[in-house]
Amino acid sequence: MTQGVPALRQRVRGQESEVRMIKDGVLYDTITKITNFNCELMLEVVSQGFLGGTTEEKDEIFNGVKYGFEAQLDGPEWFDMEMAILKRAQRLTPDVQFTVVSTLYFPDGRTRIIVIPDAKFGAIPLTIGSRKDYVTVKIDGEASGREIQEG
């Protein structure tokens, strides 16, 4: 390596990641055919102008996390998860906790784990696109925050 030239670092790809659902500390290890995942920090810029000021002052507010993913169904276990989500939303089992976890395995051997505790869910469409398409579910939700852990 030439002095002053940074080493080329390999980027992490989807094949080096996992997304898992956890209900009350128990891993749903059968929901594995996840085709994409996203996690977004919801930040908001707040502006306030003051008398005598020449510009507005800025601040930011953290409003939690949005997340989403799509999965293909390869077994009926998804419907157990869906029913648990529905029962919590209906307050039949209000104490159920869901956690969304995404693990990134970097090529240099380091690992980071995105943990979204107490995940809340929005609409969950089930899609049967056509005769040749796989049946999919789309999960979108929000949470108050996330943690990044070293693996």
Span 15-46, pLDDT tens digits: 999 999 999 999 988 788 999 999 999 999 99
Query: Mean pLDDT across the chain, nearest whole number?
Result: 93
Query: Is 2 among the domain residues?
Result: no
- Model-level pTM? 0.87
Q: For residue range 56-76, what is the model confidence (pLDDT) as tens digits?
A: 999 999 999 999 999 999 999
- Of 48, 39, 49, give the one whose Cα is nearest residue 102: 39
Residue 4 resides in a domain: no
Residue 6 lies in a domain: no
| DSSP summary character for residue 31 | -
Compute how many other C-beta atoms are within 10 angstroms of the C-beta atom of residue 117: 16
CATH code, domain with 141 = 2.40.30
Tell me how many domains the chain contains: 1
How far apart CA 126 and CA 109 sit, in angstroms, is 36
Domain enclosing residue 59, as ranges: 14-150
**Contact partners, residue 49, CB within 8 Å, separation at least 6:** 55, 56, 57
